Chain A
Amino acid sequence: MATKPNANRPISPHLTIWKWGPHMLVSILHRLTGDGMATVGTVLFVWWLAALAGGPVSYEAFMAWFVDGSGAIKPLGYLFGIGLTLAFFQHMASGIRHFVLDTGAGYELKTNKLWAQSTMLVSIALTAAYWAILLKGH
């Protein structure tokens, strides 16, 4: 319902009062990476596809933002390239974690903490490996 909530209603304690743990960080990262890809990633993806469909001239104009004439990647290329790769692998890892949690498994404190930390280690490792492969090909 599109009604204004009553300002006097008690609200649940928010981020500030809890002791920080990896499960909280992973939850925030899941939303941040998902919404980041949904906005920044979508604009770049659609721009890339439209430039490719436009032909060689428009594709070169798109690529010139991220790669210089010699084929070397520019700072903007690294920023968006590595940023979106890391966002994807983090969202993928925490998404797989959600699938596991959906089955009702992984809620024990130690297991939950281990899975939460693993998503971040996995996303960093996969991003490093992916970019090592990409840069080796150049």
Chain B
Amino acid sequence: MGSGTDLGRVRGLGSSKEGAHHWWHQRLTAAGNLILMLWFFASLALLPAHDYPTMAGWLASPLAAVPMILLVASVFYHFRMGLQVLIEDYLDGAGRITAILLLSFFTIGSAAIAIFSILKIAFTGALV
């Protein structure tokens, strides 16, 4: 990083047009999470039991499967940004980049398993 001209001092710090992107998406997904997580908590409380037939029967319905997929998308995107900030606050250099890479793998990997599981139940129904 240079210390002379104005341009030299800001070069390498990233685009000036994307600063609010992270902040704004954190808020957008927070609003999504608020609705979807309250629906999820209410759904669990309203179910008469939490055994396999009840849970699989519930998730086989599109009225549960679609909001659940939306929940995974919104919540996982949100928590990836939150954990990114945690990493940026406490790690530097190569450790920071490695941690953020692992975070992305964790988020996308776990989201894929979650969405696949929801779709499997939604498309094939409860196993007897």
A residues engaging B (CB < 8 A)? 1-5, 31, 34-35, 37-39, 42-43, 45-46, 49-50, 52-53, 55-56, 59-60, 63, 67, 85, 88, 92, 95-96, 98-99, 102, 130, 133-134, 137
Contacts and interface: CB of A to CB of B under 8 A. Distances in A.
A59 B55 CA distance: 10
Given A49-B113, A53-B121, A92-B34, A130 B82 contact: no
Given A4-B92, A49-B114, A55-B52, 16 more contacts: A1-B12, A1-B13, A2-B94, A5-B92, A31-B82, A31-B86, A38-B79, A38-B82, A46-B114, A53-B116, A53-B117, A59-B56, A63-B51, A67-B50, A96-B34, A130-B41
A35 B83 contact: yes
Contacts of B86: 31, 35
Nearest to B59: A52
Interface string B76-96: 100110110010000011101
Interface of B: 1, 12-13, 27, 30, 33-34, 37-38, 41, 44-45, 48, 50-53, 55-56, 59, 76, 79-80, 82-83, 86, 92-94, 96-97, 106, 110, 113-114, 116-118, 120-121, 127
A2 B117 CA distance: 38
Contacts of A49: 113-114, 117-118
Contacts of A42: 76, 79, 106, 110
Contacts of A130: 41, 45
B37 A137 contact: no
B27 A99 contact: yes
Contacts of B93: 2-4
Contact of B92 (A2, A43, A60, A99): A2
Contacts of A137: 45, 48
Kindly list the 6 A-B residue pairs having the minimum CB-CB distance in the complex, ordered from nearest: A38-B79, A53-B117, A49-B117, A55-B127, A56-B52, A59-B52
